[in-house]
Amino acid sequence: MDIKKEWIEFIENSTEQEQKAMKLFLNSLQVKREKTSLTHIASLLQLKTKRINEHILEMEMPNSPLLDNSIGIVHGGLTATLLDTAMGTMASLVPGNKRGAVTVELKVDFLTPGVGETFICRAEVVHNGRQLVRMDGKVRNEKDVLIASATGTFFKLSE
Amino acid sequence: MDIKKEWIEFIENSTEQEQKAMKLFLNSLQVKREKTSLTHIASLLQLKTKRINEHILEMEMPNSPLLDNSIGIVHGGLTATLLDTAMGTMASLVPGNKRGAVTVELKVDFLTPGVGETFICRAEVVHNGRQLVRMDGKVRNEKDVLIASATGTFFKLSE
Amino acid sequence: MDIKKEWIEFIENSTEQEQKAMKLFLNSLQVKREKTSLTHIASLLQLKTKRINEHILEMEMPNSPLLDNSIGIVHGGLTATLLDTAMGTMASLVPGNKRGAVTVELKVDFLTPGVGETFICRAEVVHNGRQLVRMDGKVRNEKDVLIASATGTFFKLSE
Amino acid sequence: MDIKKEWIEFIENSTEQEQKAMKLFLNSLQVKREKTSLTHIASLLQLKTKRINEHILEMEMPNSPLLDNSIGIVHGGLTATLLDTAMGTMASLVPGNKRGAVTVELKVDFLTPGVGETFICRAEVVHNGRQLVRMDGKVRNEKDVLIASATGTFFKLSE
């Protein structure tokens, strides 16, 4: 049975919940088709980036069925993914960093339950050293409730 | 245009890479249909759990196109998701913990590039306190290379 | 040989460096004699506390020969001691916390070499939960150079 | 009034508790006089090092009035000092590291109250990278009770 037949069969028997998830999957594939450099997970999580200034960027992640953990709040691992992506992206953009940066270590403090319509991560450079970039990240929902706070160390890749 | 027509159109124009991703998505939907308590992200990441003893469990995550970050190794956020899920699951299973446990804080050290066919996370209880469970987690690939190491604090939910 | 004779003998043969250290030791003993609730280490490090507002306090630690590590900058462990003491003191003072608070975990990021005449730690409550107080701490020198940044989780002791 | 007269006066009016502390201070000065490379804090805390193998060393810190926090257990900052010193010392001794190593970040988990006669810190190299050494540290008392667990990242100083 080929993939087309399998999908049609699944769609024809799908519940409303499943249709929501399929819409997300299809959307992420369509977005990635247009923007091939995007990672699958960034596309699935619908991450949108906004540069604030030389040291700060914001990354937004709208809530969706994909984010839920077993008790109906945002899965801590996906909050960590948002934080790592936002801080790593900002760390890659510091002056004098030509080939990007990799995460050395990440510490996330989960402060309040991850509920809300959208989650905004503010990633800020704390210290831009010769080899290491030290970052701070905060995740808030649309009501400005602080959900998680993080720090990260990133290693600059040299040429 | 309804969801079925949209999917058919996307499938008919899809590349081999996209077909691999679609297979993963469909598979995760089928798995979740059968096991409704599973979260979407655990289903997408194809996480499989094996209890080793009273204090240790292992969780496996096979490599897939979904895991890649922008430089072709496993996205640190997904390694963190594997660690948080494995440690949180084990923390929920300690004796005297009836309603599960939530993550207080998570610290991940990324040691070597996340390459391999499959990633095995070993989660172990370090200290089972009255309210807090302190966990240790290690992620290795199938060749036993240590990729990431983590610690986490979990808060027991009381009745 | 009793303690008095031993001290006299040591003092009579002491170098200028040793006299500086002895002055610090004597001073810490005198301070502790007057303020018995003070810990030896707080007295030795000459820690001084200033409450800024309901959520913030500052603790100052003047530089001294006792602080040096092997390469002539402040020993990271003593920077950590300053941070733990300041954050723990502030955590003990949050409303509704009657019996103090103990450190669950402490994460310190060392950003720039610890040089300066005095080190000021600003400790701030990030989240005051039912059982846990989440703290942030920053150490700067008298020129406002950020030397270290930390987060800590404290557990409230109940009655 | 000169230092000798001040000390004599203090000694003559001292309590038993104060005499214990003075003995510690004098001892630390005498030890440092013989071994000038030792730091004041290592001398005060009476740290003793034992190399176990190529990747592991142990550092012992006997209990003393200097270690007490306000509730009669070992001050968390001094446990952190022991961990930082032991892990940093071991990190400085890895093959190919000629000029020592500085602490990038330190994460300490306090697991059980710091009580006991002596505290033994086992510091182990987890990963020896090109620039970074990743360390693990555990503090146990003489009854093998695990008191604190830590991880640290150290940066190798190049020539």
pLDDT by residue (tens digit) across D2-26? Answer: 888 999 999 999 999 899 999 999 9
Chosen for mutation from B106, B109, B110, B145 (greatest number of chain D CBs closer than 10 Å) is: B109
Burial of residue C5 (number of CB atoms within 10 Å: 0-12, 13-18, 19+): exposed
Cα B27 versus chain centre, distance: 16
C146 vs A: CB within 8 A: yes
Q: DSSP string covering chain B, please?
A: --HHHHHHHHHHT--HHHHHHHHHHHHHHHHHHH-TTS-HHHHHTT-EEEE-SSSEEEEEEE--GGGB-TTSSB-HHHHHHHHHHHHHHHHHTSTT--S-EEEEEEEEEE-S---SSEEEEEEEEEEE-SSEEEEEEEEEETT--EEEEEEEEEEEPP-
| A93–chain B nearest CA distance, Å | 14
Please list the helix, strand and coil fractions of chain D in percent, rounded to the nearest 5, in that order: 35, 35, 30
Residues in chain A with CB shorter than 8 Å from the CB of C111 are 126-127, 129, 134
Task: Assess contact for A154 and A85: CB atoms under 8 A.
Answer: no
Percent of chain B with pLDDT over 90: 83
Res B113 pLDDT > 90: yes
Is residue A56 a contact partner of residue A90, using CB atoms and an 8 Å limit?
A: yes
Minimal Cα–Cα distance from B107 to chain C, Å? 9
B26 at the D interface (CB within 8 A)? Answer: no
Rounded Cα distance between B112 and B73, Å, is 10
pLDDT at A136 over 90: yes
- 3-class state of residue C79 by DSSP: helix
Between chain B and chain D, the number of residue pairs with CB atoms below 8 A apart is 34
Give contacts of B134 with chain D, Cβ < 8 Å.
109, 111, 149
**CB C24, CB C64: distance < 8 Å:** yes
| Any C CB within 8 A of B33 CB | no
Q: Which two tokens stand for residue A142?
A: 């649309």
Calpha distance A22→A13 (Å, rounded): 13
Strand order in the sheet with B132-141: A48-51, A56-62, A118-128, A132-141, A146-156, A101-110, B101-110, B146-156, B132-141, B118-128, B56-62, B48-51
DSSP B100-131: -EEEEEEEEEE-S---SSEEEEEEEEEEE-SS
Closest residue in chain D to residue C12, using alpha carbons only: D4
Query: Do residues B44 and B24 touch, judged by C-beta distance below 8 A?
Result: yes
Q: Does the beta carbon of D104 lie under 8 angstroms from any beta carbon of chain B?
A: no
Residue D109: pLDDT band (50, 70, 90) is very high
Q: In sequence order, what are the residues at sequence separation of 6 or more whose Cβ sits closer than 8 angstroms to the Cβ of residue C124?
A: C55, C56, C90, C135, C136, C137
CB contact under 8 A, B132 and C107: no
Where is average pLDDT lowest: A92-101, D43-52, D54-63, D74-83?
A92-101
What percent of chain D is modeled with pLDDT above 70?
99
Q: How far is CA A70 from the centre of its chain?
A: 19
Residues C18-37 have a mean pLDDT of: 91
What is the interface pTM, i.e. ipTM, of the complex? 0.94
d(CA A85, CA A150): 12
Q: Per residue in C76-117, pLDDT tens?
A: 999 999 999 999 999 999 987 778 899 999 999 999 999 999
For residue B117, the one-letter residue type is E
Burial state string for B85-115 with b = 16 or more CB within 10 A and e = fewer than 16: bbbbbbbbbbeebeebbbbbbbbbbbbeebe
Is B109–D146 a contact, with Cβ atoms under 8 angstroms apart?
no
Q: Tell me the pTM.
A: 0.94
Judged by a CB distance cut-off of 8 A, whether residue B107 touches chain C is yes
- Chain B residue closest in CA terms to A155: B110
Minimal CA separation from A155 to chain D, in Å? 10
Maximum pairwise Cα distance, chain B:
57
Domains, chain A, in order of start with CATH, read: 1-44 (no CATH), 45-156 (3.10.129.10)
Cross-chain CB nearest to B110 (options A19, A68, A104): A104
Q: What is the pLDDT of residue A38?
A: 87
Q: How far is B132 from chain C (nearest CA, A)?
A: 9
Higher pLDDT, B98 or B139: B139
Q: Which residues contact D108 (CB under 8 A, 6 or more apart)?
A: C80, C105, C106, C107, D76, D79, D80, D83, D148, D149, D150
Would you give the end-to-end CA distance of chain C in angstroms?
48
* Beta strands across the sheet bearing D132-141: C48-51, C56-62, C118-128, C132-141, C146-156, C101-110, D101-110, D146-156, D132-141, D118-128, D56-62, D48-51
Question: In the prediction, which pLDDT does A112 show?
Answer: 96
- Chain C positions in Cβ-Cβ contact with residue A112 (cut-off 8 Å): 127
CA D159 to chain centre: 27
Which chains pack against A, by 3+ Cβ pairs within 8 A? B, C, D
Lowest mean pLDDT among B100-104, C15-19, C36-40: C36-40
Residue B41 at interface with chain D, using a CB cutoff of 8 Å: no
Distance from chain centroid for Cα C105: 17
Look at residue C1 and tell me whether its pLDDT is greater than 60.
no
- E strand segments, chain C: 48-51, 56-62, 101-110, 118-128, 132-141, 146-156
* pLDDT score for B69: 82
